[in-house]
Structure 1
């Protein structure tokens, strides 16, 4: 079966006064119908830029895609004009942004904001669009939806505003939903409600979701597969079980080791030393080498290929080469893996 989205060797660069920032450098992944793919990594790893490229929202002229393809149902989105992308954006591919207050127009009633895309993309009349907007507010769990259509964003709580943003994103029954840290600005209880809402909506609508987050607790709770990004590249990708129980890249070990579990709350969490590389002048070899205690000489000289671990699991680390020494994850990471197996992931427990 062909994937609904197929990203091939995607590069996204930004021209600045200091030089060209290579924000995304050769990203490859697929998204199947009804699947949730989580993309995780530190700030600056290229997660948000990647999904903005999928939406055609890379700021021009500074931002540009010098190389790569984004195939949506076989059509390369990088070759479309802005006008052609407008027909896809919101209708076939929608996005939920991190902060609902910056996503909503504070001067416009929420009902009208939902109705806009219905009238534009679905060609509904105003009365039809209004009825559909009420249904969408009901779907995302906003009580007394008919009367709340006439309220402004400031009259909603943070969690309710995010539900409105989700309703807008779902208005045209998109085939792909891009969620860029949609729960980061919310407290843990509301976060859990929003995550459960998104899973329920996916079950009902069979929507494919790309979920951007730095919170591995969220990943464990919502994703089918996980892509770990570092310095503009995917360094490991696999199923949730592959990444949480059999991680192979030292960067993934660092992310897992820095994640609290119920069993580890009195322990000192791991910290990844150093900072990500300068993407104006990316390093010659493995971009993680300077922060990797297991780095070998080849890591400083040559970028590792994506080694196949299994049919579902791939990682870009020289530690997987036949001639590499046998290195296992640190004990702190093994403890996290055991904690996850027991269901003791702190963020995951709160999100259930």
Structure 2
């Protein structure tokens, strides 16, 4: 992993102005992505994962959404300051995205080949023949048999898993430096999920593409990620290497996520433990830790002030008042990656 980040997000705030007021969807998120690594962003629905991902492509609909403050540095440029025309040059060619549902992302009236070829021709300024050859090569790369014939078919002629492979082929066609995968396996059955994730890992190894994987599935994270960023209530609450997060998680929310995950190494009659309570109201987010109302270890200060960052190791950091020397001692949750 290089010392200089490929992508650097600093103090990112994103809000949506709606009838009921202002939804503060992302509040002060900071992270970096290095070449060739896979960063998993995890958290329950409404934590701000997908909004953060969309902001990296500047795909937040404005209005009602807007980036209120913060920087997204990529290739020496702050993406929040670029014009739509400049962003158009970056989307697809340097930063690409695989969306959750390929059926709504692919145009049902165009053949798969035409959709891939158009992107290649636009971003790489090639002729039709060369673009077609590249499209065939991309379908081969993602494991689609008989690619020449498949180019002439429409999205409805593909299975869900094959459509997702087409989306990955489209995303990788222009050799992007960063690939954002937003819940790429949600609608797929377990066997196809495993194939898609294995494919992404293979492509990451072969092309050195940096991947941001948005997911709520910690099993997927343990299998594929290098680093993990845990989001809750629009904020990052813990980040670290995948081993650090699973074996030495420090934030009570991360403990809750881990305890709600099925384990094969524990007795069959062990019940999964849900996290009680509901996520915070982002119309009027809490002044302190966003998890305080649901946290069994919350102290008065947790409700009043956002905890500062505590550096556990050079790669592991947490935002939690339990790390304060004056905090009561709490039994740490130890997890093993199986």
TM over 0.5: yes
Structure 1's unaligned 5+ residue stretches are 344-352
Shift of 1:232: 0.4
* 1:143 counterpart (142, 145, 155): 145
> Following TM superposition, by how much is the alpha carbon of 1:300 offset from its aligned partner in structure 2, in angstroms?
1.4
C-alpha separation in 2, matches of 1:124 and 1:132: 10
Which position in structure 2 is the counterpart of 1:266?
269
Aligned to 1:193: 195
| Cα distance between partner residues in 1 of 2:7 and 2:51 | 16
What does residue 323 of structure 1 align with?
326
CA distance in 2, matches of 1:300, 1:28: 22
Residue correspondences, number:
335
Does the 8 A contact of 1:8 with 1:69 survive in 2? yes
Partner Cα separation in structure 2 for residue 285 and residue 58 of structure 1 = 27
Structure 1 moving runs of 4+ over 6 Å:
none
Name the structure 1 match of 2:295.
292
Q: CA deviation at 1:263?
A: 2.7
In 2, Cα distance between the equivalents of 1:135 and 1:286? 49
Residues 1:88 and 2:90 are matched in the alignment = yes
- State the shift of 1:159 in Å: 0.4
Matches within 5 A, 1:113-152: 113-152=115-154
Match of 2:316 among 313, 318, 322: 313
Whether the 8 Å CA contact 1:226–1:238 is kept in 2: the answer is: yes
The answer as to whether partners of 1:3 and 1:73 remain within 8 angstroms in 2 is no
Q: TM-score, normalised by structure 1?
A: 0.94
Q: Deviations over 1:220-258 (max 9, x none)?
A: 011100000000000000000110000000000000000
Task: State the shift of 1:149 in Å.
Answer: 0.5
**C-alpha distance in 2 between matches for 1:176 and 1:117:** 16
Match of 1:280 in 2: 283
1:132 CA displacement:
0.5
SS of corresponding position for 2:265: helix
> SS where residue 212 of structure 2 aligns?
strand
Partner of 1:231: 233
Tell me, what secondary structure is at the counterpart of 2:272? coil
Over residues 154-212 of structure 1, what are the superposed CA-to-partner deviations in whole Å (9 max), with x where a residue is unaligned? Answer: 11111000000000000100000000000011000000000000011111100000000
1:204 counterpart residue number: 206
- Look up the SS of the partner of 1:261 in the other structure: coil
Aligned-partner Cα distance in 2 for 1:5–1:175 = 10
Asked if residue 57 in structure 1 is aligned to residue 50 in structure 2, the reply is no
Q: Secondary structure at the match of 2:258?
A: helix
